[in-house]
Structure 1
């Protein structure tokens, strides 16, 4: 009897297995259903939609990372779409035909966010659907920014993110963390015995704001509370402007004293540039993934002359006046170089006249050739590009740097310009033929900034290692690896090269 039961059991086992095999498999990633939100007001982009994109989408679709060539950093770029789908990503009024809604609700592939990431909630999916069906309208409210309070940087954080060589080549200004130091060229005349004239670079002084205080009210012996991000000398060398987080300072170089502090910037002041006549200076910056910030000020009064709003859809890293001062070229994290015609009266808007597209990553610096016929830009894609301004076309690519090209500076009224790179190199180029004029060795780390005197005899670079390197611009030799006194190595320690 027992054997009969066992036989019956094994005989039936395959049938049970077949029944389980025929059962439909459960979808591990089912569509996300919508819900009835019973909203009293229409969906508003900044209030209801942008927070969803920031939390779930920006990591792959904003700033320097745009998977599928889809940038969701701004309302305009969301509607523009990307890749092969283009405008079909969002079809205003038709959510069921919009790839954005279908992918976010997991009704089509590829799913957004990817399977490995946390999916949108039913409420978030519903808000996106309602927003699209209501016309995918632009923001009607102002995004409220969280106030960021910065404190002094850690003692070991001393990068040189900004340098500026005075036009006459006798002074080099450089940041070091939140400090600003000045180095001057000392010339010792030839002696009576026939000894040669000596030229040496020495630390001269540091620029401090005596009224500067930290958020907790303590006195800070520094130029800014946060890191110094940018600086520029006026054409006469008498004024230095330095930029940091949400502010800039105008300095009287001779007195080593601040004459004006200008605040109210959204985020970092990433670049500063003077017009050739010194009457104006421009600044660029802005918060990542938000509209770039471009402002032009009157040098003498410090008053805002004009502000270019929404000129770039991301942080602005470079700015340069045309030789005649009528145009302003800017570049930024949105991968564009743009040129604006400046107004002739204060308070009037600037006009966008040209856009140059070709970089595949952040554009970090821009400058004009002396005749105003060409623009040169450098970027995080490791390229330097030369553009024909009138034709709006690229003339050539210049390659040589192995990592991102962080800065660009034209040498006076010549076609030569200097670049610095994350590959720890500094190079001089010719914009007319793309040739590499010479290289400047010695950097030991990531190079953030470069500058040069008007005649090109002095070139300086700023580096992550906190050292300012001053070069002979004519032959590329290192003249000084400069440090302030408190950073000089002790006698029993080797000096930084």
Structure 2
């Protein structure tokens, strides 16, 4: 019926209203949740923006700090390397100090030995002077040679004394008379005639004579020397001779000989890897310095041939080496056109002296001074100061390459020779004393043809 239908419709309407209300409620809840979510999203977006900005700022700071940080790291690494190098330098310096310290007793002993030798020589000299004063006897005759190069004097000591006419240096003493000398005269052939109260007259041959005293090797046997002998030097007491040479590009050779009998004292074992160009005894006779084509300067003990120290620095063949008077300094000359000065005690290079036009072929300390004379292929001999490298003077006059140089023990006379075959002698002030040129070759007489036309 209608009432039932109406009632059903009312139930449906109520149900629909309730559903709408529930739907509205759901929508309201969802809207509220959406609003909350939107607020949360807004906060999250703000937080994200803030975090992003902070991240960007952090990245900027990282980039800004990266360069200084890397620089700091590099500086730290560099400092570490410097520290390690300094440590190695300190270790080497400590070793050098130890070597130098170890060497001091030997050097002190050498100094004391030299002082004692000087004292002994002074005592001997004073004794000799006293004996000479006590035994002075008058000279009663004098005679000059025809060329004035020498003169002879004699008197109550019954001896004939020969002197150099230019320098006054004693040359020889002739003994044979049994009484005081009264007359002396040079003959035309330069012989000297003397007469004495012993009723005797003597004719003397006063010409300087050179005699072969000793020969080492005969130029044939290969067991004496390996190859050429290009350098040699006598010990200060004249009892030993050291020779240097060797086979080019294969071996260096150093041998020590007894002068009296020519016998081999010892041969140093493999002293250099190439030819030895120069050898020299130290003044005290304890060491030998050598230099060679292997670009090294080396020092060995004379007593046992033991290697002492090597000095490296030349860039070409080392052609010469020399000891200072006190044995504490070495000077070397080379084909690299320089002179190098070394501290023997530590092995350190003190300085390099340049200014040479060509190879520096030889070198020698001048007496007890700090000066050296050096021969060079630039046709000159140069005197240099080893303490500051300064030039003292140049000895000129050579016509070609100068190969070698030396000087007297007191450093007053300098002698050099070279390619022009002339030996030149200078005084230490640079003045030429004398020059010895080679003899002129004998002229062959032209053959004349005989017969008649």
What are the residue-to-residue correspondences of 1:263-342 with 2, within 5 Å?
263=217, 264-342=224-302
- Residue 188 of structure 1 and its aligned partner are, at CA, apart by 8.2
Runs of at least 4 residues off by over 6 Å: none
Tell me whether 1:260 sits opposite 2:214 in the alignment: yes
Equivalent residue, structure 2, for 1:401? 356
Residue 408 of structure 2 corresponds to residue 453 of structure 1: yes
Q: 1:355 Cα deviation (Å)?
A: 0.4
Mapped partners of 2:368, 2:442: distance in 1? 36
2:346 corresponds to 1:387: no
Q: Output the CA distance in 2 between the equivalents of 1:386 and 1:436.
A: 15
2:389 pairs with 1:434: yes
C-alpha distance in 1, partners of 2:265/2:208?
A: 26
In the alignment, is residue 420 of structure 1 matched against residue 375 of structure 2? yes
1:186 to 144, 149, 152: 149
Q: For 2:418 and 2:292, locate their aligned partners in 1 and report how far apart those are by CA, in whole Å.
A: 21
Task: Provide the residue aligned with 1:63 in structure 2.
Answer: none
Q: Is the 2:214–2:259 contact (alpha carbons within 8 Å) kept by the matching residues of 1?
A: no
CA distance in 2, matches of 1:488, 1:456: 37
Aligned-partner Cα distance in 2 for 1:379–1:185: 42
Q: Give the whole-Å Cα distance in 2 for the aligned partners of 1:453 and 1:459.
A: 7
1:300 to 1:424, Cα distance in 2 relative to 1, 3 A? same
Larger relative contact order (Cα-Cα within 8 Å, sequence gap ≥ 6)? 1
2:320 aligns to what?
Answer: 365
Aligned partner of 1:374 among 329, 333, 339: 329
Q: CA RMSD in A?
A: 2.9
Contact 2:422 2:438 in 1 (8 A): no
Q: Which residue matches 1:356?
A: 311
Shift of 1:199: 3.9
C-alpha contact 1:188 1:199 (8 A) present in aligned 2? no
Asked whether the equivalents of residues 254 and 267 of structure 2 are also in contact (C-alpha less than 8 Å), the reply is yes
Change (3 A) 1:441 1:198: farther
* The structure with more helix, counted as a fraction of residues: 2
**Cα distance 1:185–1:268, how it changes in 2: closer, same or farther (>3 A)?**
farther
User: For 1:456 and 1:326, how far apart are their aligned partners in 2?
Assistant: 22
- Whether contact under 8 Å (2:214, 2:261) holds in the other structure is no
- Is residue 2:441 matched to residue 1:478? no
Aligned CA distance change for structure 1 residues 185 and 357 (closer, same or farther; 3 Å) = farther
Q: TM-score, normalised by structure 2?
A: 0.50
SS of structure 1 residue aligned to 2:213: strand
Deviations 1:224-251 (A, max 9, x none): xxxxxxxxxxxxxxxxxxxxxxxxxxxx
The change in CA–CA distance for 1:396 and 1:482 in structure 2 (over 3 A counts) is same
How far apart, in 2, do the equivalents of 1:435 and 1:280 lie? Answer: 35
CA contact (8 A) 1:335 1:360 kept: yes
The structural deviation recorded for 1:301 is 2.1
SS at match of 1:262: coil
Q: Secondary structure at the match of 1:408?
A: strand
Deviation at 1:487? 5.5
The alpha-carbon distance between structure 1 residues 435 and 186, as it changes in their structure 2 partners (threshold 3 A), is: farther
SS of residue in 1 equivalent to 2:440: helix
Structure of higher CA gyration radius: 2
Q: Deviation per CA, 1:375-420: give whole Å up to 9, x if none.
A: 1100000010000111111000011211100011222333222110
Q: Which residue of 2 aligns with 1:68?
A: none
SS at match of 1:387: strand
Give the conservation status (yes or no) of the 8 Å contact 1:441–1:478.
no
Task: Report if the CA contact (8 A) 2:244-2:254 is conserved.
Answer: yes
Separation (CA, whole Å) in 1 of partners of 2:149 and 2:390: 33
C-alpha distance in 1, partners of 2:316/2:293? 7
Contact 2:416 2:425 in 1 (8 A): yes
Q: In the aligned structure 2, how far is the partner of 1:354 from the partner of 1:403?
A: 28
- Closer/same/farther in 2, CA of residues 326 and 198 from structure 1, 3 Å limit: closer
Is the 8 Å Cα contact of residues 401 and 425 (structure 1) preserved in structure 2?
no
- Equivalent-residue separation in structure 2 for 1:268 and 1:301 (angstroms): 22
Distance 2:341 2:328 in 1: 10
SS in 1 for 2:260: coil
* Number of residue pairs aligned between Structure 1 and Structure 2: 243
